[in-house]
Amino acid sequence: MTGESNDRQTHWQKVYQTRPVDAVSWYRPHLDVSLELLDQAGLSVGSRLLDIGGGASTLVDDLLARGLRDITVLDVSDAALEIARRRLGDRERQVHWIAADVLRAEFRTGAFDFWHDRAVLHFLTDPSDAARYAAQAALAVRTGGHAVIGGFAPDGPERCSGLPVARRSAGDIAAILAPAFHLVTARAEKHVTPGGTEQSFAYALLRRD
């Protein structure tokens, strides 16, 4: 796994060092579906949230604007994290930043109320990696907490950023996270890339049992 982790880091470092953040295919100015599902699950200013693969995403901006005080952003690329930190300016000190592969990161048991991931799990095409991801989520999220996970739907693209992806329905995502989590809500999204291409995403809101 160490070699694969290093390969992932090298790939994403290059992406964020060479491409404008608002030009990559997955860019959205606001993660509307994620925010709606987090709200449905009871997100509040006191919630402890972990954003997996948050990198340069604007989710952290919107969470800070809502008054959240315990936000952690994890990404395998420190270059991606640096983009977000520069964008936030002084507010970056209000966020915990972790440069690590989610499969290898060390989490405390029940450390978070919310686990958010838009388009990390779908890069884990090996079943053993997906199982490790599920184990990490089960460890990190407290009983009664929630996970919001989105990725390419079954009719979505087969590749992203030059890498193969696993296209999954909300039910497929829930099956990977079971039995520690169960599916609460499934959502679909038609994401339009900066280049104007439409991509199908599937989201699962899951509850930690």
Domains of the chain listed by start with CATH number: 2-208 (3.40.50.150)
Q: Which residues, other chains included, contact 200 with Cβ-Cβ below 8 Å and sequence gap of 6+?
A: 152, 153, 154, 155, 156, 188, 189, 190, 191
- Mean pLDDT of all residues belonging to the chain: 94
Looking at the DSSP bridge assignments, the partners of residue 89 are none
The CA distances from residue 11 to 78, 108, 145, 149, 209, in Å, are 12, 28, 32, 22, 35
Band of pLDDT at residue 151, cut at 50, 70 and 90:
very high
Residue 5 has pLDDT above 80, yes or no: no
Residue 1 has pLDDT above 60, yes or no: no
Supply the pLDDT for residue 128: 97
Supply the pLDDT for residue 102: 97
What integer is the mean pLDDT of 169-191? 98
Band of pLDDT at residue 20, cut at 50, 70 and 90:
confident
Over residues 77-130, the pLDDT tens digits come to 999 999 999 999 999 999 999 999 999 999 999 999 999 999 999 999 999 999
Q: What is the pTM of this model?
A: 0.94
Please give the span between the terminal C-alpha atoms of the chain, in angstroms, as a whole number: 28
Supply the pLDDT for residue 113: 98
Band of pLDDT at residue 165, cut at 50, 70 and 90:
very high
% pLDDT > 70, the chain:
97
CA 81 to CA 43: how far, in whole Å? Answer: 23
